[in-house]
Amino acid sequence: MSEHILEIRHLGKAFGAHEVLRDIDFTVDAGDVISIIGASGSGKSTLLRCINLLETPTSGEILYHGTNVAGRGVSAAKYRSRVGMVFQSFNLFNNMTVLENCMVGQRKVLGRGKAEAQAQAVAYLNKVGMAPYIYAKPRQLSGGQKQRVAIARALAMEPEVLLFDEPTSALDPEMVGEVLAVMQALANDGMTMLVVTHEMAFARDVSSRAVFMHEGVICEQGAPAALFGDPQRQETRDFLARFRSA
């Protein structure tokens, strides 16, 4: 059995002739909080979508505890209950209440009974400060509240790893902080997280490792203090400089 939770090996993805990811190698261990940064179009979302089995890699392997999940015979729904994902656009079910949103996966994928699923949902909604809204529909919520519900929904599955794809990018500026605070609390609790983000302060201050992607490859990765404070590659320096002047 592999010591790593996830091991990405030589992962490649092409859309037609367009190679979007090339030879991506990295590992995710328990308690890692990994930030993935990089310019628009560098392949960050595609990488996360491959890891969540929303895209099929063109080459390479995604090992989850040593098993290649990009191969045949893997239940995507079961795997996603272990490796959950939070999207930029929340992806809540608009016809369901907050509570139902946080129960449906537990009922359908984990086979939990109604009482247990409800208790779990309420516990995690409470954790993200959304317990007062259990009977609300998503349209009645602000963006920040919706994202906190989406995080509670993912947590209610009790995943081993959570993937976040720019969880604050669709939010009005005044709501970014409440979502980042929830994510910071999760990181402090030891949750294993892979976070694609443009929030450089989060990447620098909260993550245990930062990965800089450039044109479909991992250009540089390391401790956030080193990557932000003393980047080794010119591409990393250029990217960070653009961010600082933005």
Ligand X SMILES: Nc1ncnc2c1ncn2[C@@H]1O[C@H](COP(=O)(O)OP(=O)(O)OP(=O)(O)O)[C@@H](O)[C@H]1O
Q: Given the rule CB under 6 A, which residues bind ligand X?
A: 15, 18, 20, 38, 40-46
Closest contact distance (angstroms) between CB of 91 and ligand X is 15
In angstroms, the CA 84 to CA 69 distance is 14
Binding partner at 101 among ligand X, Mg ion, none, C-beta below 5 to 8 Å by kind: none
Binding partner at 105 among ligand X, Mg ion, none, C-beta below 5 to 8 Å by kind: none
| Cβ atoms of residues 167 and 201 within 8 Å | no
Local structure of 166: helix, strand or coil? coil
Pairing of strands 33-38, 192-196: parallel
Closest contact distance (angstroms) between CB of 42 and ligand X is 4
Return the number of the residue (105 or 216) whose C-beta is nearest Mg ion.
216
Return the number of the residue (40 or 245) whose C-beta is nearest ligand X.
40
In angstroms, the CA 139 to CA 224 distance is 37
Binding partner at 144 among ligand X, Mg ion, none, C-beta below 5 to 8 Å by kind: none
Binding partner at 221 among Mg ion, ligand X, none, C-beta below 5 to 8 Å by kind: none
Closest contact distance (angstroms) between CB of 111 and ligand X is 32
Return the number of the residue (48 or 99) whose C-beta is nearest ligand X.
48
Residue type at position 112 = R
Return the number of the residue (135 or 243) whose C-beta is nearest ligand X.
243
Q: Given the rule CB under 5 A, which residues bind Mg ion?
A: 45
Closest contact distance (angstroms) between CB of 86 and ligand X is 14
Closest contact distance (angstroms) between CB of 45 and Mg ion is 3
In angstroms, the CA 209 to CA 196 distance is 12
Pairing of strands 67-68, 59-64: antiparallel
Please state whether 40 falls in left (phi above 0), alpha (psi between -120 and 50) or beta: beta
Return the number of the residue (45 or 145) whose C-beta is nearest Mg ion.
45
Rounded to 5 degrees, what angle do the CA atoms 70, 209, 187 make? 90
Closest contact distance (angstroms) between CB of 46 and Mg ion is 8
Local structure of 83: helix, strand or coil? strand
Return the number of the residue (48 or 191) whose C-beta is nearest ligand X.
48
Rounded to 5 degrees, φ, ψ at 91 are: 55, 40
